[in-house]
Amino acid sequence: MNFIAFVEGPLVWIAFLTFLLGSALRLLLFFTLSSKKDKPVYRFFNLKWMLLSIARWLFPANVDLKKNPIFASLGYIFHICLLAVPLFYSAHLMLWEESRFKWSWWTMPDHWADWMTLTLLAIALFFIIRRIVLPGVRIITTPSDYLLIVICALPFLTGYINTHPDGLSYQWITSALPIYGQYGTTIHIMSGALMLIVVPFTKLSHWVLFFVSRAVTGMEFGRRNYPV
């Protein structure tokens, strides 16, 4: 098996399994630790407060939006694009349809995916500049914070370049890196696999820990009769 075949086959499955199993392990560790440290919370299980707490922070009805409307709004848009493009881009779905699973669902028009990709890249650049420019943010920023933004943006950048071979971005990168013209798809897959692999082991694990932490917080607020 050559390198390209490995990337397009085993590496993809390794990335998915690492993402799923690693996220499940993070959940298990969370519940193990919280059940020891927050025992009173679990004795006052309340589904209503759990769901209310999660909903308040999932939708534009939380304190962060009021305090930082621009940053919070861009955060919402960034996460929507981050999820929607990989899941509903037609070329990605074709791979699932051709796989052993034969899965199929709705896809977005390709021009939607283009605009959402460009939007995500612009917001990612804004996040980086914000961390550099604002002293209060810069002082709590670590190199890994910049790296994680780049890791999230790379699959979208390479995907956009690859799907627009007549565009300036493709011409520029193939002029600077001629090898990209031959291995662009492989690089795109590797960047996507890298993002999936690092999720369970970095701050990106908040994609799943957010829900359980908000649920526990909601139960605590409900127990104390505080507003969520």
pLDDT above 70: residue 43? no
CA-to-CA dists, residue 12 to 2, 8, 31, 53, 186, angstroms: 15, 6, 29, 35, 11
Phi-psi region of 225 (alpha: psi -120 to 50; beta: other; left: phi over 0): left
Q: What percent of the chain has pLDDT over 90?
A: 56
The boundaries of the domain holding residue 137 are 39-223
Confidence band of 33 (pLDDT split at 50, 70, 90): confident
**Cβ-proximal residues to 124 (8 Å cutoff; 6+ apart), any chain:** 78, 149, 150, 152, 153
Average pLDDT across the chain, whole number:
87
In the chain, the number of structural domains is 1
**Residue 10, domain member (yes or no):** no
**Residue 15, domain member (yes or no):** no
pLDDT above 80: residue 125? yes
User: Which amino acid does the sequence have at 16?
Assistant: F
Q: Residue 107's domain is classified under what CATH number?
A: 1.20.950
Tell me the pTM: 0.87
**Residue 123, domain member (yes or no):** yes
**Residue 95, domain member (yes or no):** yes
5, 185 Cβ separation under 8 angstroms: no
Rounded Cα distance between 36 and 86, Å, is 37
**Residue 31, domain member (yes or no):** no
Rounded Cα distance between 188 and 159, Å, is 6
**Residue 7, domain member (yes or no):** no
- Three-state helix/strand/coil letters over 72-87: HHHHHHHHHHHHHHHH
Confidence band of 215 (pLDDT split at 50, 70, 90): confident
**Residue 173, domain member (yes or no):** yes
Rounded Cα distance between 77 and 9, Å, is 31
* Higher pLDDT, residue 65 or 163: 163
Note the pLDDT of residue 60: 64
Tally the C-alpha atoms within 13 A of residue 1's C-alpha that lie toward its C-beta.
Answer: 9
Stretch 158-166: mean pLDDT: 94
Rounded Cα distance between 185 and 30, Å, is 37
**Residue 60, domain member (yes or no):** yes
pLDDT above 80: residue 120? yes
Confidence band of 17 (pLDDT split at 50, 70, 90): very high
